[in-house]
Amino acid sequence: MRVAAIVPAAGRGERLGHPVPKALLQIGGQSLVEHAVAGLIRAGVELVVVAAPADVIDEVRRLVPQATVVPGGSDRCASVRLALDAIPVDVDAVLVHDAARPFGSDDVVQRVVAALDSGAPAVIPVVPLVDTVKRVDGNGAVIETIDRATLRAVQTPQGFRRDVLAAAHANATATVTDDAALVEAMGIEVKTVDGDPRAFKVTTAWDLTVAEALWEWGRR
């Protein structure tokens, strides 16, 4: 099975409060997009396509010369579609990985690929929730406490048969933050594999601080 990966990295990252796109923020002297691409290649993915902000595309190409870099779209779904167009037609499976998850493990990538190779049309890595979860109304009042035993937090890379991912985006009627949601909307089963707590997403300034601390700890 020939596997490629898409890294949608065109977001601006406003919640981080930095003037540069999120993918260019650095941890340990390397940008988030460099960490993400290196991790995929280290895990055995042969082709990586990055969808980058058009105004910094030359900088991203300089940072990740081992990847194909294309201009991203106005939202995540558009970026994935544009990157998918750059993937050769003989690729069997496509992974979609957040640039903002710099510490994804080789094991997670390999578990996703193995599930696809075993016949699953779509696969997502997940981790159990550790906090109590409550549903609240518009005024912030608790409506109910939800049983977390059947709930999971979703990570990336998410994996798909190429034809399934292409059809999901061709049939998309709304913008989503999760490609698997488009597949679910088509009535196609999405399998889960174990994720990794270290593969958290850098979304806020606090996350960036934690990521820096983890990087320094890993160097000891």
33-72 confidence digits (pLDDT tens): 999 999 999 999 999 999 999 999 999 999 999 999 999 9
- Are 181 and 168 spatial neighbours (Cβ–Cβ below 8 Å)? no
Q: What is residue 174's three-state secondary structure?
A: coil
And the tokens for 71? 């201009």
Domain ranges of the chain: 3-218
197's CB contacts (< 8 A; 6+ apart) are: 127
User: What sign results for the dihedral spanned by CA atoms 159, 91, 53, 74?
Assistant: negative
What is the third-level CATH fold of 3-218?
Spore Coat Polysaccharide Biosynthesis Protein SpsA; Chain A (3.90.550)
Q: What is the mean pLDDT of the chain?
A: 92
For the chain, the residue count is 220
pTM of the predicted structure, to 2 decimals: 0.93
Please state, in angstroms and rounded to a whole number, the distance separating the CA atoms of residues 192 and 41. Answer: 22
112-144 confidence digits (pLDDT tens): 999 999 999 999 999 999 999 999 999 999 999
At 99, which amino acid appears? A
